[in-house]
Structures are given as C-alpha cells and as structure tokens.
Amino acid sequence: MAKTKTAYFCQSCGYESAKWLGKCPACSQWNTFVEEIIEKSANVPTWKSASGTQRLNKPNRIDEIRSAQEERMPTGNAELDRVLGGGLVTGSVTLIGGEPGIGKSTLMLQLALNIHHAKVLYISGEESEQQIKMRAERITQTSNTNCYILTETSTQNIFKQIEQLEPNVVIIDSIQTLHSSHIESTPGSVSQVRECTAELLKFAKETSTPVFLIGHITKDGAIAGPKILEHMVDTVLQFEGDRHHIYRILRSIKNRFGAAAELGIYAMHGNGLREVSNPSEILLSQREEELSGITIGATLEGARPMLIETQALVSNSAYGTPQRSATGFDIRRMNMLLAVLEKRCGFRLSIKDVFLNIAGGIKVEDPAIDLAIIVAIISSHEDMPVSSKICFAAEVGLSGEIRAVNRIEQRIAEAEKLGFDKIFISSYNVKGFDKNKYKIQLVTVAKIEEVFAALFG
C-alpha cells in the first residue's frame, strides 16, 4: 500500500508547503494553512482516458498560424450576451461568483431553459432534482426539452454522463461541491477545487463545450478557493446587488473574449430575473418637485452610457469631528472634491457633515460624475435645487478646472434621448464634433466658478 502523502495549503491563495506555516509567504495572511491529503490513485482515469498514441504538439511560426474568429452561441439573454462580449464562446470556461441568495442559480437555470437550440446539462451538487424542477416551473412558462438535470458531486460520474449525453453547454452548481477521486481531501478544499476545475477546463478545451461554474464567495467578497481558480478560467463574472432591492448587477471582472468592463442589469421578481434594457430610467427618480442636493450625472459602464442620480446632504456637524460618508462612490475621491471646493471656491465644508449616495444601489468609478457630485454638494449646502432637466458629464481637477472625459458624444446622445434640456461638459470636449447636430443645449465650462454662476447666479 502506498504511503499517504499530505501537504499544507493556504486557504487564501493556494500556496503549497511541505510543513505548516503561521504566515503565508505568498499572500502574507496569517493562520491560513490547512493539511490536506494529496495522494492520487493510480488507477483512476481523467475525464476521458487516453487511448492509443497521441500526437505531440510542435511549435509553429506565428505567421503560419491561421487566425479565425471565435464562434459565439447566443444565450437568449441580451444582458448576459453583452457582458460575455456577444455570446458564449465554444470551449470557454466562465466562473460566476456572488453573495448567497443573490440569484446565481436562478440566472444559470434561466440560461439553461432559454437555450432551445442546444442541449444543456445542469449539474447541481446542492439541490435535488425536485427542488430544481419547482424553481424551473416558477421562473418560466415554457418547458425546454433540451435541458437535462443531474444531481451529482463526483467528477468521474459526471464525465461518464457527459460522454453519454454529449451536451452543448454544461453548468456546474457549484464548483465547491465537486470532488475528484484523484484527491482524497474534502470537497471545497484548495486541492479539490483546483483539481476539479483543471479537469473541467481540459474537457471544455478538448470538446469545445462551454462550461459555467458557479462559485461561492468568502466573507470578504472574494471568490472562495485558491486565487489560481480565477486565473485558470476564461471569464470571471460577479453577480452583485442588495437583497433588499430588486435590482441585480452582473459585472465582468475578467474576459479573454471581450471587454472586461461591461455591465448587465436585472430586476429580481417572484418569477425570476428580468432584463433591464434601459437602466437610466430606473436609476432616475420621478420626483414631482425640485429638491436640493440632487443632480444627474452621465457615466459609462463598458460600452453602455447611463444617467445616474447623485444625492448629497450637507448639514451642521453635531459632534466635534465632521462625518464623511459615501455610498456607491469612493470616499477618498469625495474628500478630494470637498478639499477643492474649500480651497478654490471658498466654501466652508470642513465643519459640515457630508453624506453622498449614488441612487439605485450601484457603484460608480467613472470620474465623469465629479461635476455632478460637487454641484449636488453645493446645492445641498446652499439649499438651492438644480433643475431635473440638467445633467453633467465632466471631471474636476485639483486646481478647480473642468477636465474633458472620453466618449462624450455617447453621453450627450443618452441625455438627449431621455429628454434633458441641458448638459454641462468641459470646454475641451467640444473640439472635433458638431454641436449643432444635437437638440440638447451644450453648456461648455472651464472652471468650477463658471458652473456655479450659470446655475446659482
């Protein structure tokens, strides 16, 4: 009998060590090493046993390699297709992570039920077939006869069923529940997750079958398992949202076949997830009267322009130290904008409490909403409302200058489509395009003082 072989793995990054260590030399985390059995059985086959002689790959000169456009399969879900870069790429492996109960399994089951032109195998290690059937009846009105359900956790049994069924798309829910006979450690451990993902990756590449992996996340919000898991797959998607709100955001973190900054928006209803084709309408509140501290900013998420509502509240500080709070926006950048307003414009904000909120529960990193934020702050500070028919698209510099932003024409077109009367942009953004082709009024400014003079007099 072979001697049992063990090793120690870091649960944070997957670093392997022959002995226990208090601090991981790779990621500098403390007390993350656990012992796992790594002895492999010699008689256990991989996903498909190698038979006969195999042809070895040889190096080819780059000009001799034929370039080919990757084949894409439409999923029947416009938001998911946009985030993936136009559809499913054959042989790709996609990892989807998110909070428990956010809707990952619902999204994947809807995907399996919507692809009528392909055979889909939905493999679950967490739910029974009856549970999945009940959820499928709740979220869809039509039955897809090409969707097959399998409740299994052993990769060897899964690959046997795959060889018999020969599906066009495989969905795994979830990768942390699978275990391989190659590794004797428990499911969800670093070595098991890495081994199961490697087998699925090899299967996807050799058979050109798209594979979806649902992954758990840790309490810090990172995908559970070794960091190498995200490096192994082709695409990493993050499903975000607040369970107290109906809106969910599908964000692309890594994509080898498309842009890594795309965004898909869904609304969670009792009968499943529904696509939101025009997010600007849901992110703008329909208010009957003008209120101070509310402005509209034009932002971009990937290739999609959106108009979002920024809300600011400035009040007298009730304590010795003024409070600063930002939801959906970087608080360090908010503090920088407050310093610009105090230094360049003379507003005494250092003794005020300032609260900032991006409506709709989304997070924005686009600097083009800087101008909308400072106008909302001054509007609340002076208690003077800004018209709901005015929007802003410009970055603010440390000297108080209004800087140009990229793809300004898309932002202007989105504001015009939604019926806005004016849009404030940088004077340096008007070079190179015709202002007369827009019905919306373009207000060009170069300094913050010009914005305040035009709005507040």
Question: pLDDT (tens digit, 9 = 90+) per residue, 224-281?
Answer: 667 778 888 999 999 987 766 778 889 888 999 888 878 888 888 888 888 888 777 7
In the chain, the percentage of residues whose pLDDT exceeds 90 is: 42
**In the chain, % of residues over pLDDT 70:** 91
Q: What angle do CA 110, 114, 115 make, to 5 degrees?
A: 125
What confidence tens digit (pLDDT) does each residue in 429-448 have?
A: 887 777 778 889 999 999 99
Classify 228 as helix, strand or coil.
Answer: helix
Distance CA 46, CA 271 (A): 40
Q: Backbone phi, then psi, for 185, in 5-degree steps?
A: -80, 170
Question: How large is the average pLDDT for residues 95-112?
Answer: 90
The pLDDT of residue 448 is 92
Taking the C-alpha atoms of residue 23 and residue 8, their distance in angstroms, rounded to an integer, is: 12
Q: At what angle do helices 190-207 and 155-165 cross, to 10 degrees?
A: 20
Nearest partner of 425 among 387, 452, 451, 397, judged by Cα:
451
Segment 406-414 shows an average pLDDT of: 90
The mean per-residue pLDDT over the stretch 9-20 comes to 83
Tell me how crowded residue 45 is: count the other CB atoms within 10 A of its CB.
Answer: 13
The residue-averaged pLDDT of 149-166 equals 92
Tokens for 407? Answer: 């793809």
Residues 6+ apart with CB under 8 A from 337: 370, 373, 374, 377, 396
Residue 332 has pLDDT above 50, yes or no: yes
The string of pLDDT tens digits covering residues 53-73 is 445 567 888 888 777 667 788
For position 309, what pLDDT does the model report?
92
Q: What are phi and psi of 422, to 5 degrees?
A: -135, 150
CB atoms within 10 A of CB 19: 8
Residue 249: name the closest of 233, 236, 262 by CA: 262
Query: Once rounded to an integer, what is the mean pLDDT over residues 386-413?
Result: 92
User: Quick check: 14 pLDDT over 80?
Assistant: no
User: Read out DSSP for 40-59?
Assistant: PPTT---SS---S--PPP--
The residue type of 232 is M
pLDDT of residue 47: 57
The predicted pLDDT at position 398 comes to: 93
Radius of gyration of the chain (CA): 26
| Ramachandran sector of residue 63 (left: φ over 0; alpha: ψ -120 to 50; beta: rest) | alpha
